């Protein structure tokens, strides 16, 4: 019995959600490559890239599918490396289910922000990854007295600032999606809570949830009205 408990504990500590997401994205990238190439616009559209006109025509699922697509080898390589190292820490802190919820909601939220503020075709897990950065910011705000968490939060804040500064001066980068994902990740981290580390104020959780839902609905409706 003790051996079974030990194996279950080891499995529970393994970042299988992070690894599973990476595996799915690599498989999708392989399928896109076989279909004509991940940089081919027609392939990207076929597989579900964010195209505002198509979303406005009713293809709302394009607010979710872009986070599983990547444009070129460098794009997926950098995103998967980042997702692995950031994801395994967030998954360990929040737990598997909460991590997955934050990743998916941040990805969708970032794509909704992109839909509202950017007309460009876009794809990539960056919206969701920035949401994980936002979760680190939430940890830093809620548990600032913990020196380890505080240091990690400062490190990732510096990383986020550098990335956003890079985005501003780099053409073709979906800045709206990145900032949207960051904000959504920060809010949804409060919503789901982090019982593995400590208690989050119920007031903060309620306020974050209201702002999160209200903000996403407003962005979506604004994008549809354009």
Give catalytic residue positions: 126, 178
C-alpha triplet 149, 154, 158: angle, nearest 5°: 145
Q: Count other C-beta atoms under 10 Å from residue 130's C-beta.
A: 29
**CA–CA gap between residue 93 and residue 157 (Å, rounded):** 18
**CA–CA gap between residue 127 and residue 106 (Å, rounded):** 6
Phi, psi of 122 (to 5 degrees): -145, 155
Label residue 161 left, alpha or beta by phi (over 0 means left) and psi (-120 to 50 means alpha). alpha
Map residue 95 onto helix, strand or coil.
Answer: coil
Query: Cα–Cα distances in Å, from 221 out to 6, 61, 174, 190, 212?
Result: 49, 15, 20, 24, 14
Who contacts 24 (Cβ-Cβ below 8 Å, separation ≥6)? 68
């Amino acid at each position: 019995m003790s051996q079974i408990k030990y194996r279950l504990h080891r499995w529970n500590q393994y970042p299988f959600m992070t690894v599973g997401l990476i595996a799915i994205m690599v498989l999708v990238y392989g399928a896109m490559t076989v279909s004509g190439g991940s940089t081919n616009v027609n392939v990207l559209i076929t597989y579900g890239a964010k195209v505002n006109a198509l979303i406005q025509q009713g293809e709302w699922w394009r607010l979710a599918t872009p986070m599983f697509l990547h444009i070129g080898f460098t794009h997926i390589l950098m995103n998967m490396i980042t997702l692995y190292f950031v994801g395994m820490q967030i998954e360990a802190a929040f737990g598997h289910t909460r991590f997955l919820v934050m990743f998916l909601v941040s990805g969708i939220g970032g794509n909704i922000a992109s839909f509202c503020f950017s007309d460009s075709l876009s794809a990539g897990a960056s919206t969701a990854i920035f949401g994980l950065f936002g979760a680190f910011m939430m940890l830093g705000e809620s548990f600032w007295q913990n020196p380890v968490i505080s240091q990690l939060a400062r490190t990732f804040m510096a990383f986020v600032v550098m990335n956003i500064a890079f985005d501003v001066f780099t053409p073709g980068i979906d800045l709206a999606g990145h900032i949207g994902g960051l904000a959504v990740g920060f809010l949804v981290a409060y919503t789901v809570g982090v019982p593995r580390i400590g208690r989050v104020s119920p007031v903060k959780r309620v306020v974050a949830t209201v702002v999160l839902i209200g903000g996403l609905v407003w962005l979506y409706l604004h994008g549809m009205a354009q």
